[in-house]
Amino acid sequence: MDDTTRYQRLLARYRNGDIDRREFLKLLGLAGMAAGVVGGPLGLLTPRQAKAAVEQVRFDGWGGVVSEAFREYAFKPYTEATGIEVVDGTFGGADEYLARVRSSQPGEFNIAHLSGVFDYARYHNLDLSTTLNEGNIPNLELVIDTLQEPFRRITDGRLSAVPYDYGTTGIAYNRKHISDEEAQEKGARLLIDEQYKGKIGGWSEWKTRIWYAALQTGQDPNNIEDIDAVWETLREHRDLLLKYWGSGAELMSLLAEEEIYVTEGWSGRIRALQDQGHDIGYLDPPGGLAWQECLFVIKGSPMAECEELLNFMLEPEVAIAVAEGQNYPPALDPTKVDLGEKVPTLPAFDPTGTLSELNFFDPAYWNSNEGEWSKEFGRIQRGY
């Protein structure tokens, strides 16, 4: 039996329900030990007849349920197929991780699960970008064009990353204390409602804080005309907080333990809480914040192996498994790929693949204000 037939039969068994996803990915990895199957997830995976020159690729991401999904549904099968180990690191914040990359030796960090076009532009402007050989990533053809275009504009038509998922940062609230009707009525201003003083949380990330303060003052976050009103609102929010949170795990813990009743939160993490049985509502208010995440290949990385891993991770069966595990829609175009039953139910999912109803950071605008605005928010956060 040739490898193409083997893969097609394995895929048919999975789709018919004869084997579950875990077994499918395990067998997929074992199948990859033979010659690659063009057009499938192992299309570019080649047999390792001798000890590979590259024995590992480092991948850094956000930890928690997100990293668990990558580890279970992408990294393990890839390692079984290629013999290349994926060293799985985590970080709590984009600024902290960038500082680590900038102080590292070339090649020490390889692929990063970056959030937003903003970070893509930062890495490129710091001469940390690469040029992917898209011929080695045929599954890129399945990715939503709208997600690719902002990256290509920054790097003159080429890519240093592949889009992988998207989501929103909306308002999460405890339904025991806040009704859906109240959340809808108050929108972004629910986060500065004095009756919930001491039960409000907030992400300690300057861009998100400023975005929501702009909404709370009736301004376009991508064209703020009264920045002083934003600073005053940020101080108002700070004085009502229980605390700023710094990671997805902390966000989930604060809500699950009912230490806070309302905060902005990441759509996938809130869906995970809901799936665990917590009565948490989620609202994307008018003007709310959307983002996309990419798998960015950092300068100095082993390009062929990184491209091989990216193509594997974009294979629909793998990308869908990861999406269902981390609760964020994949970057795959739903008009080209059947995304199954769960993905269309995830927060922020757009069945059209256009993402026309979502609001994203304007990277040029936010990058140009980063120095001043991040510094001022830091002062406010410290109590000034």
φ, ψ of residue 271 to 5 degrees: the values are: -60, -40
**Residue appearing with tokens 């757009």:** 350
Report the pLDDT value the prediction gives residue 32, as an integer from 0 to 100. 45
Sequence letter at residue 285? P
- Based on the domain organization, do 117 and 179 belong to the same domain? no
- Based on the domain organization, do 157 and 299 belong to the same domain? yes
Dihedral of CA atoms 264, 266, 268, 269 in degrees, nearest 10, equals -70
Check if the beta carbon of residue 209 is closer than 8 Å to that of residue 234: yes
- Based on the domain organization, do 133 and 193 belong to the same domain? no
Report the pLDDT value the prediction gives residue 41, as an integer from 0 to 100. 46
pLDDT in tens, the chain (384 residues): 444 445 456 656 665 666 666 666 656 554 443 333 334 444 444 444 334 578 999 999 988 777 888 888 889 888 988 889 999 999 878 889 999 999 999 999 999 999 889 899 999 999 999 999 999 999 999 999 999 999 999 999 999 999 999 999 999 999 999 999 999 999 999 999 999 999 999 999 999 999 999 999 999 999 999 999 999 999 999 999 999 999 888 999 999 999 999 999 999 999 999 999 999 999 999 999 999 999 999 999 999 999 999 999 999 988 998 899 889 999 999 999 999 999 999 999 999 999 998 999 998 899 899 999 999 999 999 999
> Under DSSP, is residue 197 helix (H, G, I), strand (E, B) or coil?
coil
353 domain-assigned: no
In angstroms, the CA 200 to CA 361 distance is: 24
355 domain-assigned: no
Rg over alpha carbons for the chain, rounded to the nearest Å, is 21
Residues ≥6 apart with Cβ < 8 Å to 329? 165, 166, 167, 323, 339, 343, 346, 348, 349, 350
350 domain-assigned: no
- Based on the domain organization, do 245 and 370 belong to the same domain? yes
Q: What is the DSSP annotation of 298-343?
A: PTTS-HHHHHHHHHHHHSHHHHHHHHHHHTS-BSB-TTTS--TTTG
- Based on the domain organization, do 160 and 89 belong to the same domain? yes
Residues ≥6 apart with Cβ < 8 Å to 65? 248, 268, 269, 272, 325, 326, 327
- Based on the domain organization, do 112 and 226 belong to the same domain? no
The tokens for 358 are 């979502």
87 domain-assigned: yes
162 domain-assigned: yes
φ, ψ of residue 39 to 5 degrees: the values are: 95, -15
Check if the beta carbon of residue 110 is closer than 8 Å to that of residue 302: yes
- Based on the domain organization, do 20 and 32 belong to the same domain? yes
Report the pLDDT value the prediction gives residue 65, as an integer from 0 to 100. 75
- Based on the domain organization, do 203 and 234 belong to the same domain? yes
- Based on the domain organization, do 236 and 190 belong to the same domain? yes
Strands, E, within 48-137: which ranges?
Answer: 56-61, 85-90, 111-115
256 domain-assigned: yes
Which residue, among 106, 98, 103, has the nearest Cα to 122 in the 3D structure?
Answer: 98
The tokens for 218 are 């009736």
Give the structural domain span for 239. Answer: 168-290+361-381
Report the pLDDT value the prediction gives residue 4, as an integer from 0 to 100. 43
298 domain-assigned: yes
> Under DSSP, is residue 198 helix (H, G, I), strand (E, B) or coil?
coil
Q: Identify the CATH number of the domain in which residue 90 sits.
A: 3.40.190.10
- Based on the domain organization, do 53 and 115 belong to the same domain? yes
Q: Which residues pair with 112 in a beta bridge?
A: 60, 296
**Counted domains in the chain:** 2
356 domain-assigned: no
- Based on the domain organization, do 327 and 376 belong to the same domain? no
Per-residue model confidence as pLDDT tens digits over 244-302: 999 888 999 999 999 999 999 999 999 999 999 999 999 999 999 999 999 999 999 99
> Under DSSP, is residue 58 helix (H, G, I), strand (E, B) or coil?
strand
- Based on the domain organization, do 228 and 366 belong to the same domain? yes
